[in-house]
Chain A
């Protein structure tokens, strides 16, 4: 479904990604783990078109989307819930969800999809008229995921959904991610610093170190890998 080949990204003169390759297959949850500044967000930003890659190929659904404008990429079925959530604080919860469906023409189906989002995140239903800026961090994360789901993506990318959220809510959010994957068969590319949790819910994983993929394996194997255990799982 998503194939990244030899992706290079620069910020000005600084090289952030020096040739990474990864695959995400239909129906999988794949996780990308790595330390601060390794280039995880940069990878997702490049795939979404927010930064232009210097070189490399990004095939999504059989088409190269490297260098394509972000709004076009969303239209092709690749959604992202970005790092730091970026919900529209000045818009209501409902409007945020409508923004997620911005490119869709099938308005008749919106009600059904709102209901689905509200069924996985009932909190959002209670707060649907509130402006998103008044939500708690965890609620904003739910909204960011719900908003991305409203575009009816074929593949969903989540950038650090656990960032700055109370531990109980993190648990809930990860349960929902698994639920979305199972119920909708939605392909998910997950970026996390909380490697423990991420590897628990994923099928496969990649380890990113300063702009390079250094390891790739099944989630199971990565959890058993001594190196990974030491660097990312808090060394047990």
Chain B
């Protein structure tokens, strides 16, 4: 029983870590622009595809399944997605900055569908599932009855490092301070000399880079990748961001972990696995009924 529990715990944490990485992007963009970037989950998918195409050439230079190959592929994919995220903001959202939020929201859904359907085109990625290359040598670590995949451990450790790095950037650097200032009041930030467009761009870049990493981690655990692979984890991560308190970074991380654990535990219970989403979401609704602003969110009370 305890083995089963530990096993689910590790699985749940690894899955939750991935949700957390995606949720950070949703919540950061919400923080500066107050809207949900529905195309975020597709950027995650693009991260997985970038890694899919980059792995063979990089492995050719640095060796199959080597740590260096993995590192270079992850960094390059993150950089590519950062550029894609900033481009989406520049082309699709920036011209609508002064328009009602709903306009931007619908545009975001449009961008998302555009990426998904373009990706499915046979001349692009194609709709069929592709098997994701092995980035790292994966080993099963057996402790008693416990089977842990080394990939899960890597995902957990790297996510923890990334979360800490994000916290540092937002709380301890000048650009992070500007992000928080823009999030509170864009005009006041501009009056301090902050280039608001630059900060918004940076926020999209950062969120998209994290999404790319999440996409790769997700692909490492999934049977394969396809242009619609972002939808499911994207939805979960969005809910994780709301659960944690939208706009709140530690909240997004916590929400992701909670969601990953719920999903894994209920999915792993015999007889309950078919209901796992139902149960997970019912719990979510309950939490939000009692804490409408999310686990760590504060209800906005603006002092004028």
- Interface positions, chain A 68-92, Cβ under 8 Å from B, are 69-71, 74-75, 79-80, 82, 84, 86-91
- The total of chain A residues at the interface (CB under 8 A) is 27
Interchain CB contact (< 8 A) of B193 among A75, A84, A87, A91:
A75
B161 sits at the interface (CB 8 A): no
Q: How far is the CB of B202 from chain A (nearest CB, A)?
A: 14
Given known A74-B192, A147-B192, contact A102–B187 (CB-CB < 8 A): no
CB pair A95–B187 under 8 Å, yes or no, is: no
Contacts A71-B196, A84-B304, A86-B185; is A48 near B180 (CB within 8 Å)? no
Quick check: A88 and B180 within 8 Å, CB to CB?
yes
Q: Are B188 and A86 neighbours in the complex by a CB distance under 8 Å?
A: yes
B178 proximal to A (CB < 8 A): yes
Q: Give the distance to chain B from A176, nearest Cβ to Cβ, in Å.
A: 20
What's the dominant secondary structure at chain B's contact region?
helix
Q: Which residues of B contact A102 (CB under 8 A)?
A: 174, 178, 192-194
Q: Are B188 and A151 in touch, CB under 8 angstroms?
A: no
Annotate B50-93 by CB proximity to A: 1 below 8 A, 0 otherwise.
Answer: 00000000000000000000000000000000000000000000
Give B99 Cβ to nearest chain A Cβ, in Å.
13
Complex contact A88–B185 (CB within 8 A): yes
Smallest CB gap from A133: residue in B: B303
| Distance of A74 Cα from B188 Cα, bound (Å) | 11
Which chain B positions have C-beta within 8 A of A146?
none
The residue on B at minimum CB distance from A50 is: B187
Check if A22 is an interface residue, CB within 8 A of chain B. no
Min CB distance, B270 to chain A, in Å? 46
CB-CB < 8 A to A98: which residues of B? 174, 177
**Contact sample, A vs B, 18 pairs, CB 8 Å cutoff:** A48-B191, A49-B190, A70-B190, A70-B191, A71-B190, A74-B191, A75-B193, A79-B191, A89-B184, A90-B180, A95-B177, A99-B177, A102-B194, A103-B192, A103-B193, A133-B303, A151-B192, A151-B193
**A148, closest chain B residue (CB):** B191
Which of B155-192 touch A at CB < 8 Å? 174, 177-178, 180-181, 183-185, 187-192
Please give, as numbers and ranges, the residues of chain A lying within 8 Å of B303 by CB-CB distance: 89, 133
Chain A, Cβ-Cβ closest to B196 = A71
Could you list which residues of chain A lie within 8 angstroms of chain B, going by C-beta atoms?
48-50, 69-71, 74-75, 79-80, 82, 84, 86-91, 95, 98-100, 102-103, 133, 147, 151
Residue positions of B touching A, CB distance < 8 A: 174, 177-178, 180-181, 183-185, 187-196, 302-304
| Chain A residue nearest in CB terms to B185 | A86
Closest chain-B Cβ to A10's Cβ sits at a distance in Å of 14
Contact B180 A91 (CB under 8 A): yes
Determine how close the nearest CB of chain B comes to the CB of A99; give it in whole angstroms: 5
Distance of A226 Cα from B185 Cα, bound (Å): 41
Chain A residues positioned under 8 Å from B184 (CB to CB): 88-91
Q: Complex: how many Å from CA A6 to CA B183? A: 35
Residues of A within 8 A of B180 (CB): 88, 90-91
Give the most central of A71, A75, A79, A91: most B CB within 10 Å. Answer: A71
* Shortest distance between the CB of B189 and any CB in chain A (Å): 7
Across the interface, name the chain A residue whose C-beta is closest to B171. A95
Q: Do residues A71 and B194 form an inter-chain contact, with CB atoms below 8 A? A: yes
- Decide if B190 touches A88 in the complex (CB within 8 Å): no
Nearest opposing residue in chain B for A137, CB measure: B303
CB–CB B187/A99 < 8 A: no
List, in ascending order, chain B residues with CB within 8 A of A82's CB. Answer: 187-188, 191
